[in-house]
């Protein structure tokens, strides 16, 4: 989903809180509105459903039970093409936030918030909403042998307690695999909490993941639950696990071995009961490089490994995905139903789709919005180079310089996008936050 086209609603009765969040988010997103009275929500929804809602839990002065916010969450989750919801909560409301996670909220942010944390949460919510389509995990659509194997493994592993590692390129739907595992597990009634490990600052890793006690450090004004406590009884999805620094890996390993966390500033450990599903786009061979990833942690995480194939390895699924997303955006943008022009399907199926299903989804959205002919032509999808121009795999036995290839690919995308970060991220199938990290990594 384009960051600039995202619609965000801040639903909070405190005008100062709403204004602060609005000013922050407007730096990155154009359409950010606020609402302080839930009674006016229906009128706002009549003009269009937002992509993300930042939702307070209490609106009536003196109420602290969170019932109003939870009722609003249920209403928002029941909407067709409903928004992603991030709960805004005071420190003391963390148990309510956990209940909101169980009811379908994607994340919770404690007040006062860290600006980087709020921006990362909104970016992740937009990415998740873009992948969610009418309750169907479209990235998992398809009847190719590769996808049948993935679905079979999900069905087999979901009812167990085994930790699962999901491998695959950007945009293949790794989080959707994790959500499918959770939904089919005995923990489906509890929270599913996704954490982008690459977005967690190393300096605050322990506080973010394990919580902290009041007074543990400056600004620790009260106790705070970490991500492990928030996912208690449910599933904790550790995305981009390959980006975790070695020092943080050691701390995570200790928690997984002991099944308990010690909040920062606490003198006693707390038991935690969570199932871990992790994911990375790292090449599998690099995961076994001890200089990048601890072998003992890897063996804790990869009891079961599910490899999600790139779209170029299941081209037979492309026609169904094209039909699905074109129909979806025709409905969403109230555009006429159109067919593909003769020959267009063959060319789209021959495309290698760097960025995978995420890139295909963005291309379909572009075609629906910008296409102005009676049918869809290949140029409507914004594919500006022939499939043959995509980098070819290195010959067997030849050194494959992943770092240089990644840098060259990102540089080419930035040049094609003429420096437009949002467009370059869409071309690469990345979120803006992930692209910023990679630009910094390669000094581009």
Q: Which pLDDT score, from 0 to 100, does residue 1 have?
A: 47
Per-residue confidence (pLDDT) for residue 424, from 0 to 100: 74
Do 324 and 256 share a structural domain? no
Does one domain contain both 176 and 209?
A: yes
Residue at 393 is within a domain:
no
For residue 389, being part of any structural domain is answered with no
Looking at residue 397, its pLDDT comes to 44
Give pLDDT tens digits for 146-190: 998 999 999 999 999 999 999 999 889 899 899 999 988 998 888
* Nearest-angstrom CA–CA distance, 168 and 357: 12
The answer to whether position 298 is within a domain reads yes
Helix (H) or strand (E) holding 42: helix 41-46
Examine the domain organization and report whether 332 and 205 are in the same domain: no
Residues of the chain with pLDDT under 50: 1-3, 133-136, 386-400
Looking at residue 13, which CATH number applies to its domain? 3.40.50.2300
339 and 317 in one domain?
Answer: yes
Residue 348: inside a domain, yes or no? yes
Residue 116 and residue 55 share a domain? yes
> Does residue 148 lie in a domain region?
no
- For residues 35 and 118, membership in a common domain is answered with yes
Domain shared by 362 and 408, yes or no: no
Determine the pLDDT at residue 134. Answer: 38
Q: Is residue 274 part of a domain?
A: yes
Which CATH number covers residue 209? Answer: 3.40.50.300
Please check whether residue 141 lies inside any domain of the structure.
no
Predicted confidence (pLDDT) per residue in 397-434, tens digit: 444 456 677 777 887 777 776 666 766 777 777 776 67
Residue 112: cis peptide before it, omega within 30 degrees of 0: yes
The whole-angstrom distance between residue 256's C-alpha and the CA centroid of its chain comes to 23
Query: CA of 269: how far to CAs of 92, 144, 229, 254, in Å?
Result: 20, 47, 12, 12
- Counting Cα atoms < 13 Å in the Cβ hemisphere of 386 gives 2
Instruction: Determine, yes or no, domain membership for 267.
Output: yes
Which of 264, 283, 308 finishes a domain?
A: 308
pLDDT of residue 390: 43
CA distance 43 to 48: 9
Q: Kindly report the CA angle at 17 between 129 and 434, in degrees rounded to 5? A: 35
Residue 21: CB atoms within 10 A of its CB come to 23
pLDDT at 127: 67
As a dihedral over the C-alpha atoms of residue 5, residue 9, residue 14, residue 19, rounded to 10 degrees, the angle is: 10
Residues 30 and 120 in one domain: yes
For residue 434, the model assigns a pLDDT of: 74
Distance CA 158, CA 185 (A): 5
Same domain, 176 and 292: yes
> What's the total number of domains in the chain?
4
Same domain, 195 and 114: no
Tell which of 278, 308, 338 closes a domain: 308
Note whether 317 and 197 are same-domain residues: no
CATH code (residue 343): 1.10.8.60
pTM: predicted TM-score of the whole model, two decimal places: 0.65
CA distance 325 to 348: 14
Predicted pLDDT at 398? 42
What is the residue range of 346's domain? Answer: 312-381
Q: CA–CA separation, 94 vs 100, rounded Å?
A: 10
320 and 282 co-located in one domain: no
């Amino acid at each position: 989903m384009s960051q600039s086209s995202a619609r965000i609603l801040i639903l909070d009765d405190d005008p100062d809180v709403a204004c602060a969040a609005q000013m922050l988010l407007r730096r990155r997103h154009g359409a950010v509105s606020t609402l302080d009275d839930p009674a006016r929500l229906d009128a706002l929804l009549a003009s269009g459903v937002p992509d993300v809602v930042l939702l307070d839990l209490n609106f009536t002065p003196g109420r602290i039970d969170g019932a109003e916010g939870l009722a609003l969450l249920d209403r928002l989750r029941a909407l067709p093409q409903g928004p992603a919801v991030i709960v805004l909560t005071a420190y003391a409301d963390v148990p309510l936030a956990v209940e909101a996670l169980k009811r379908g909220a994607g994340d919770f942010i404690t007040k006062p918030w860290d600006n980087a944390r709020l921006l990362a949460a909104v970016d992740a919510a937009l990415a998740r909403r873009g992948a969610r389509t009418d309750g169907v995990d479209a990235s998992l659509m398809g009847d190719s042998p590769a996808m049948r194997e993935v679905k079979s493994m999900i069905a087999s592993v979901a009812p167990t307690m085994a930790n699962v590692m999901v491998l695959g390129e950007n945009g293949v739907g790794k989080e959707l695999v994790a959500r499918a595992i959770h939904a089919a597990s005995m923990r489906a009634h509890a929270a599913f909490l996704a954490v982008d490990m690459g977005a967690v600052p190393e300096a605050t890793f322990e506080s973010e993941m394990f919580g902290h006690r009041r007074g543990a450090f400056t600004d620790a004004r009260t106790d705070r639950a970490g991500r492990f406590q928030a996912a208690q009884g449910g599933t904790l999805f550790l995305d981009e696990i390959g980006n975790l620094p070695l020092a943080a890996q050691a701390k995570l390993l200790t928690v997984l071995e002991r099944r308990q966390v010690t909040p920062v500033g606490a003198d006693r450990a707390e038991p935690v009961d969570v199932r871990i599903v992790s994911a990375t786009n790292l090449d599998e061979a690099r995961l076994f490089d001890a200089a990048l990833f601890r072998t003992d942690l890897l063996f804790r995480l990869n009891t079961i490994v599910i490899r999600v194939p790139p779209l170029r390895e299941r081209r037979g699924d492309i026609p169904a995905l094209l039909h699905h997303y074109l129909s979806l955006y025709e409905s969403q943008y109230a555009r006429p139903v159109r067919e593909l022009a003769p020959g267009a399907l063959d060319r789209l199926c021959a495309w290698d789709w760097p960025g995978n299903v995420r890139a295909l989804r963005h291309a379909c959205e572009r075609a629906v919005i910008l296409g102005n002919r009676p049918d869809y032509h290949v140029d409507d999808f914004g594919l500006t180079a022939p499939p043959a121009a995509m980098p070819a795999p290195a010959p067997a036995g030849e050194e494959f310089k992943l770092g240089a290839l990644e840098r060259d690919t990102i540089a080419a995308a930035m040049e094609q996008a003429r420096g437009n970060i949002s467009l370059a991220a869409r071309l690469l199938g990345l979120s803006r936050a992930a692209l910023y990290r990679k630009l910094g990594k390669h000094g581009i």
